[in-house]
Amino acid sequence: ILIPFLGLVLAFWFYSARETFKPEMLKGKRVIVTGASTGIGEEMAYHLARMGSHILITARTESKLQKVVERCRELGAASAQYISGTMEDMAFAEHVVKEAQTSLGGLDMLILNHVGTSYFGYFDGDVGHIRKLLEINFLSYVAMTVSALPMLKESEGSIVVVSSMAGKVGFPFTVPYSATKFALDGFFSSLRQEFHIQNINVSITLCILGFIDTERALHAAADVLLVPAAPRAECALEILKGGALRYRELYYRYGSTRLPLLLRDCAAELLESMVRSRYRLDRIGSG
Ligand code: NDP
């Protein structure tokens, strides 16, 4: 009886001793948000604007980025600008970071959030698609991190990596996407270890999300998934809080992401069958 009780007391103490988030933490901070023309990235840009950050956003569609930047200025951003281009091109990924150096004079937070288009259905065997998706969803994250590290070391800043439940446990119907998200965990969790060893004070927050109500996700999976989609604006705010508080990992929402993942090591087959039970399998094409 005593051991579980002590465990509960320790857990309570740990959580109550944690620093709480205040919007001022991000006021005046220089932040890059990738994939910010729509979805969760767009919502992160608006939250940052309300908090008074300097924002540099990127994606491919210039007309959408222009509108997001205008809105950010109306909402009170310290400054807001965009660069359009594709993350298939590593030179472009590096160029975005250099722009932060030139126009913001440094960087406090790098939010890696963009995601390339993939399909929802049985794996079709297209190796070329996996290579392309790895470039967009994984290699460009690495390229931006490498370019940004000198600035982040100087500011003792943060890297925020937006991932998914599909990057922690096998998910059917998104095989190429899941592969890229698992790769992010491997790279950034290993890099975090080296930062500890080398006393590099740059935090890495890996964000584990469930189903979120962005247009892309609803279009791809609303008809097939049996779980409700969580609101993207709330999700965006939780990601920013996790980054500002320098969490190792951020689970949004805890009950539907962290708790099931506790089964991974002790009851993996149960977890996998729980994942499969979330789909209306009769609505998936035969592939
Ligand atoms: P969206 O599809 O709404 O937004 C994706 C963003 O990435 C857009 O701004 C898009 O803009 C940009 N983008 C796409 N392709 C490229 C490219 N080749 N080069 C540069 N930018 C590109 O995605 P979400 O908001 O739904 O997802 C955001 C993050 O959250 C992703 O990392 C995703 O994996 C993760 N996530 C989302 C979940 C969900 O249910 N929504 C669940 C779990 C994780 P443009 O087309 O203009 O380039």
Q: Would you state the torsion angle of the CA atoms of residues 21, 23, 24, 25, taken in this order, to the nearest 10 degrees?
A: 50
Is the CB of 52 within 6 Å of ligand 1?
A: no
Distance of alpha carbon 17 from the chain centroid: 26
Write the CB contacts of 109 (distance below 8 Å, at least 6 apart in sequence): 26, 29, 30, 31, 32, 157, 158, 159, 160, 243, 244
Q: What is the pLDDT of residue 15?
A: 63
Give, using CA atoms, the residue closest to atom 32 of ligand 1. 113
Per-residue pLDDT tens over the stretch 194-243: 999 999 999 999 999 999 999 999 999 999 999 999 999 999 999 999 99
The domains of the chain are located at 22-283
Q: Residue 83 in contact with residue 58, Cβ under 8 Å?
A: yes
Q: 212 vs 97, 136, 190, CA distance in Å? A: 28, 20, 27
ipTM higher than the 0.95 cut: yes
So what's the pLDDT on residue 1? 63
- Ligand 1 neighbourhood includes 280 CB (under 6 angstroms): no
The CB of 41 under 6 Å from ligand 1? The reply is yes
Closest ligand 1 atom to residue 87 Cα is 19
* Regions of the chain short of the pLDDT cut 50: none
Partners of residue 80 on adjacent β-strands: 55
| pLDDT at 286 (0 to 100) | 62
> Considering only CA atoms, which residue is closest to atom 14 of ligand 1?
116
At 17 the pLDDT is 65
HSE-CB for 211 with a 13 A CA cutoff: 18
Q: Is 220 in the pocket of ligand 1 (CB under 6 A)?
A: no
Q: How far apart are the first and last CA of the chain?
A: 53
Ligand 1 pocket check for 78: Cβ under 6 Å: no
Number of the ligand 1 atom closest to the C-alpha atom of 166: 43
Judged by DSSP in three states, 261 sits in: helix
Mutate which of 44, 47, 115 for ligand 1? The one with the most ligand atoms within 8 Å of its CB, which is 115
> Which residues are catalytically annotated?
177
Q: Which stretches of the chain are assigned E, i.e. beta strand?
A: 30-34, 54-59, 79-84, 109-112, 158-164, 203-209, 249-252
Superfamily of domain 22-283: NAD(P)-binding Rossmann-like Domain (3.40.50.720)
Q: pLDDT averaged over the chain? A: 95
Take residue 145 and report the two structure tokens written for it.
């991190």
Please report the pLDDT score of residue 19 as a whole number: 86
CA 287 to chain centre: 29
Report the nearest atom of ligand 1 relative to the CA of 36.
Answer: 9
- pLDDT tens for 138-161 read 999 999 999 999 999 999 999 999
Token pair for residue 276?
Answer: 């499969």
Q: Is 162 in the pocket of ligand 1 (CB under 6 A)?
A: yes
What is the whole-number distance in angstroms between the Cα of residue 214 and the centre of ligand 1? 9
Residue 176: Cβ-neighbour burial (10 angstroms; 0-12, 13-18, 19+) = buried
Residue having the nearest C-alpha atom to atom 6 of ligand 1: 35
